[in-house]
Amino acid sequence: MFTLSNVLSLVRGPLAFLFLINRVDVRAFVILAAILTDCVDGYLARRYKHTTKLGAILDPLMDKFFVFFVVSILFYENRLGGLEIAFMLLRDMVLFGFSLFLLLKKAWKNYNYRSLWWGKATTSLQFIVLLFLALNIRVTSLLFSLFVGFGICVFLELFFTLKTNPEKV
């Protein structure tokens, strides 16, 4: 079912392609628009009880697509290094590993999927770092190291969801 929330999530896909325009004002606008659509789609879905299975998949998928696309451009332009990208995407690597674990345990269908608090925090930090880079603000290694801490927290949050629902895995 398509809701306004789902449409706002979908907008982040084509919005990412505007980042190909190498102008500070355009890139800053693109990042701010992505942040705004991410916040508003979640608010509307919860406020008006328009949460859907499609939205539960679409929102994080479009977030990841947007971040991966923009990070790829910044890497191509030599504005982000491989280690910085690995740090930024550590949460996604943890989620991928966890998904493989569920698949191997044949617990994929029984697992209660939900958004993770540390996952949301990581997405917010990713958008902030991308905004800084779009505005040509230098991002310190300390900020990138926060991604490692957030990735560990995502892992722990996933681990504790398994501990609280052992019959499902």
Q: What does the domain layout of the chain look like in residue ranges? A: 4-168
Cα end-to-end span (Å), the chain: 29
Q: What radius of gyration, in Å, describes the C-alpha atoms of the chain? A: 17
Over residues 89-112, the mean pLDDT reads 87
Put residue 51 in one of left, alpha, beta given phi > 0 → left and psi -120 to 50 → alpha: beta
Q: What are phi and psi of 106, to 5 degrees?
A: 55, 35
DSSP code, position 1: -
Does residue 5 carry a pLDDT above 60?
yes
Record: fold of 4-168: Four Helix Bundle (Hemerythrin (Met), subunit A) (1.20.120)
Confidence of residue 88 (pLDDT cuts 50, 70, 90): very high
- What are 96's two structure tokens? 């991928």
* Entry pTM: 0.88
Count of beta carbons in the 10 Å neighbourhood of residue 55: 21
